[in-house]
């Protein structure tokens, strides 16, 4: 079975055709429970997200700030497994028909087996993987299997990336490019800053792929700011915070993430 890279590309192209950025939401699998995480993914889609990234919880999440680390810890203590990640992808995609990716560090895939992982992700209806710590120069085997199964390989670029390095990364990637808006870890911030705009400009000079910005966006105003120069706006910690704040009240948490998705969906259409 082939994965849904085309659905991802078509979704991003449709947002561009509407004169807006796409809204991409991140949620960890298994948080607050496996079933709760599936419902949360559906809720952000209901609210207006175009794409969902399902995080594969990891014990050493180097890119993730304290909010997502807390959620990952809850998921891991709850016994989340890769099979649960695949189930989350399958059910979120089946319920909505929208593109769902997995964001994961490399070690779990390496241990699980590249062919097994890509085949199962494609079978689940996944659109691809975001791989923040896989060096491009070591990615050939992964990309071969991802291409075979119709999955996007999304690499992360950062403000520290030199232009030549950006060109190497974007040439190897597919689906879109994940532009980390600043140096550091994920989390909500007061301002996304000019670094993100400069990084998007430099990245776009190397590729025709959509460039989507994450790390720091948490409200409609910031989403509108980023939407002026990025093809997609990625929001994670703000959604996870709402689920954490609900403190076990899943209905309240789902209402919160659905509402925030709606506000952000309006924001990416304003391009203030």
Query: Which residues have a catalytic role annotated?
Result: 53, 64
- φ/ψ of 190, rounded to 5, equals -70, -35
Distance of alpha carbon 145 from alpha carbon 102, whole angstroms? 15
Whether cis (ω within 30° of 0) applies to the bond prior to 76 is no
Q: Which helix (H) or strand (E) holds 52?
A: strand 51-55
- φ/ψ of 154, rounded to 5, equals -105, 120
Q: DSSP letters of 86-125?
A: HHHHHHHHHHH---EEEE--HHHHHHH-HHHHHHHHHHTT
Q: DSSP letters of 190-205?
A: S---HHHHHHHHHHHT
Provide the edge-to-edge strand list for the sheet that holds 152-154.
152-154, 128-130, 100-103, 51-55, 22-28, 232-235, 211-214, 177-180, 156-157
CA atoms within 13 A on the CB side of 229: 20
């Amino acid at each position: 079975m082939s994965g849904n890279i085309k659905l991802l590309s078509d979704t991003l192209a449709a947002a561009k055709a509407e004169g807006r950025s796409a809204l991409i939401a991140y949620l960890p699998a298994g948080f607050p429970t496996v079933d709760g995480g599936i419902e949360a993914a559906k809720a952000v889609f209901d609210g207006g997200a175009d794409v969902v990234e399902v995080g594969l919880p990891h014990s050493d999440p180097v890119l993730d700030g304290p909010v997502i680390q807390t959620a990952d810890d809850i998921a891991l203590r709850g016994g989340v497994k890769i099979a649960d990640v695949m189930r989350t992808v399958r059910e979120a995609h089946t319920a909505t028909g929208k593109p769902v990716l997995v964001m994961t560090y490399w070690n779990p895939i390496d241990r699980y087996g590249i062919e097994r992982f890509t085949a199962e992700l494609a079978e689940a209806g996944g659109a691809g993987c975001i791989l923040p710590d896989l060096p491009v120069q070591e990615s050939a085997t992964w990309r071969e299997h991802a291409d075979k199964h119709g999955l996007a390989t999304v690499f992360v670029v950062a403000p520290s990336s030199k232009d030549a390095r950006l060109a190497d990364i974007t040439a190897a990637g597919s689906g879109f490019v994940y532009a980390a808006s600043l140096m550091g870890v994920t989390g909500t911030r007061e301002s996304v800053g000019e670094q993100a705009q400069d990084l998007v400009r430099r990245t776009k000079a190397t590729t025709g792929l959509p460039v989507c910005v994450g790390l720091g966006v948490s409200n409609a105003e910031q989403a509108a700011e980023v939407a002026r120069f990025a093809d997609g706006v990625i929001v994670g910690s703000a959604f996870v915070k709402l689920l954490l704040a609900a403190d076990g009240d899943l209905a309240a948490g789902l209402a919160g993430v659905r509402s925030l998705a709606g506000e952000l969906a309006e924001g990416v259409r304003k391009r203030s």
